[in-house]
């Protein structure tokens, strides 16, 4: 089961912490170009480590980290600890305030076939390679990935709540979320965390590319180190762990945008849907995400001039030829990627991870705008994936197509950095 360790975090000094909100940044795969441009203007923003820019971005990140250390802008905490990280948020139309409670620690890196860290979606090779090169240059975990553990009795919550009585820093982030950080350094309390996690497997909620990058980097270091013992820092990865039993897991859908398909003809594409789907015109695509909500095997198609709701015909479902267990074939994402992307649009399964014809967009409004402006040929609107579906996928040993889930709120970057 999972081995975790406390660690000595690198954190901004007390002067910079007074304006920590100006130093935090979104994760690399959710930051918009507009956000990035604004954040690059602050020479101490964490984006210079997490999404470095310039002609030699990884080298720039390494030099920035060294500069911050040398001038004392960041300092390493004097003693190891487990860092408690809470996110306070609300959901649209829901008056309740939620609090996602979790803790940040180092976790031993396990290969996928060891069945300790469980993934539920594929990664894209290019993004993994970028993470490997950034690790090699900086030797730093800049932001924690998000993992899920199970603690039905909420044994750790009392320790985390107590720690939160003395926060280290807090801010309201770009999502409108209140993020709060504290630390636990008591050895006996830390043992409680270590012991509970020793009985747990971990589901990767968010950060598949960063974890896969750490795994690949570890293997590279092992190969280059004849004296490898397994105790080196590169054997560990930074992770924020939250409880699957809490009522604070929100998974938003990630839609698909299709572009650059040769010979794309809207009428011909719509006609091909008739073989597999029941097709229903939608007069106002502005409400497509609401129209398809909670309907099994149902998706929205938005073209520049028209839109449709499509629902898979149950009698054709058995024709999926991908080698997945039956319970995985029944999920929306495999249905969409097999019948729509492969069978109808002609993008084969093995090519989908690297195809430049597919883009991924969380914002429904952005999908609508891109298609209406002609930047994309088609928007495929889908429903969210449930946490039960994620558990099914992890238990099966299979993975969903890349970018199938969007856990929300997202972890922010800038509270803690961890040396490897």
Task: Looking at the structure, tell me whether residues 260 and 242 fall in a common domain.
Answer: no
What six digits make up the tokens of 19? 């304006």
Domain count across the chain: 2
Which single residue is written with the structure tokens 């993992």?
147
Contact call for residues 9 and 416 (beta carbons, < 8 A): yes
CATH code: domain of residue 342: 3.30.1760
Domain of residue 377: give its range: 254-383
Q: For every one of its 420 residues, what pLDDT tens digit does the chain have, with 9 covering 90 and above?
A: 899 999 999 999 999 999 999 999 998 777 888 899 999 999 999 999 999 998 899 999 999 999 999 999 999 999 999 999 999 998 777 788 999 999 999 999 999 999 999 988 777 788 899 999 999 999 999 999 999 999 999 999 999 999 999 999 999 998 899 999 999 999 999 999 999 999 999 999 888 899 999 999 999 999 999 999 999 999 999 999 999 888 777 788 899 999 999 999 999 999 999 999 999 999 999 999 999 999 999 999 999 999 999 999 999 999 998 888 888 888 899 999 999 999 999 998 888 888 999 999 988 999 999 999 999 999 999 998 888 888 888 877 777 777 777 788 889 999 999 999
Task: Looking at the structure, tell me whether residues 336 and 220 fall in a common domain.
Answer: no
Task: Looking at the structure, tell me whether residues 216 and 308 fall in a common domain.
Answer: no
Q: How far apart are CA 111 and CA 211, in angstroms?
A: 10
Task: Looking at the structure, tell me whether residues 209 and 318 fall in a common domain.
Answer: no
Q: How far apart are CA 71 and CA 98, in angstroms?
A: 39
Task: Looking at the structure, tell me whether residues 305 and 369 fall in a common domain.
Answer: yes
Whether residue 26 lies inside any domain: the answer is: yes
Secondary structure percentages of the chain, helix, strand, coil, to 5: 35, 25, 40
Q: How far apart are CA 216 and CA 394, in angstroms?
A: 21
CB atoms within 10 A of CB 325: 13
- Report the first-to-last Cα separation within the chain, whole angstroms: 22
Task: Looking at the structure, tell me whether residues 61 and 133 fall in a common domain.
Answer: yes
Task: Give the pTM.
Answer: 0.82
């Amino acid at each position: 089961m999972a081995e975790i360790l406390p660690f000595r975090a690198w954190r901004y000094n007390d002067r910079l912490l007074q304006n920590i909100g100006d130093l935090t940044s979104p994760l690399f795969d959710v930051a918009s170009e507009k956000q990035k441009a604004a954040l690059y203007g602050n020479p101490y923003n964490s984006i210079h480590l997490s999404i470095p820019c310039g002609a030699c971005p990884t080298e720039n990140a390494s030099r920035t980290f060294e500069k911050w250390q040398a001038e004392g802008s960041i300092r390493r905490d004097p003693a190891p600890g487990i860092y408690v990280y809470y996110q306070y948020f609300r959901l649209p139309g829901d008056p309740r305030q939620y609090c996602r409670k979790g803790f940040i620690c180092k976790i031993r890196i396990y290969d996928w076939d060891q069945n300790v860290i469980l993934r539920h979606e594929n990664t894209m090779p290019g993004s993994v390679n970028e993470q490997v090169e950034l690790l090699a240059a900086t030797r730093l975990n800049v932001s924690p990935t998000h993992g899920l553990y199970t603690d039905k009795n909420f044994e750790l919550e009392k320790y985390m709540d107590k720690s939160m009585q003395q926060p280290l820093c807090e801010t309201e982030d770009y999502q409108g979320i209140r993020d709060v950080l504290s630390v636990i350094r008591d050895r006996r309390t830390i043992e409680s965390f270590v012991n509970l996690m020793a009985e747990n497997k971990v589901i990767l909620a968010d950060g598949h590319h960063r974890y896969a990058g750490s795994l690949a980097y570890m293997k590279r270091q092992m190969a280059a180190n004849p004296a490898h013992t397994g105790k080196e820092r590169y054997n560990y990865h930074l992770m924020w762990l939250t409880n699957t039993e809490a009522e604070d897991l929100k998974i938003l859908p990630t839609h698909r945008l299709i572009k650059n398909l040769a010979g794309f003809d809207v009428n011909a594409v719509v006609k091909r849907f008739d073989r597999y789907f029941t097709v229903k015109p939608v007069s106002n695509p502005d409400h497509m995400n609401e129209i398809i909500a909670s309907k099994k095997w149902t998706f929205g198609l938005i073209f520049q001039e028209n839109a449709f709701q499509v629902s898979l015909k149950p009698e054709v479902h058995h024709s999926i030829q991908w080698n997945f267990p039956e319970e995985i074939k029944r999920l929306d994402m495999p249905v969409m990627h097999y019948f729509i992307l492969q069978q109808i649009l002609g993008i084969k399964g093995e090519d989908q991870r690297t195809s430049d014809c597919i883009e991924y967009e969380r914002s429904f409004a952005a999908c609508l705008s891109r298609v209406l402006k002609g930047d994309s040929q088609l928007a495929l609107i889908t429903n969210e994936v449930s946490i039960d579906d994620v558990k099914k996928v992890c238990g099966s040993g299979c993975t969903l197509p890349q970018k199938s889930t969007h856990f929300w709120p997202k972890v922010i970057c800038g509270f803690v950095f961890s040396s490897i």
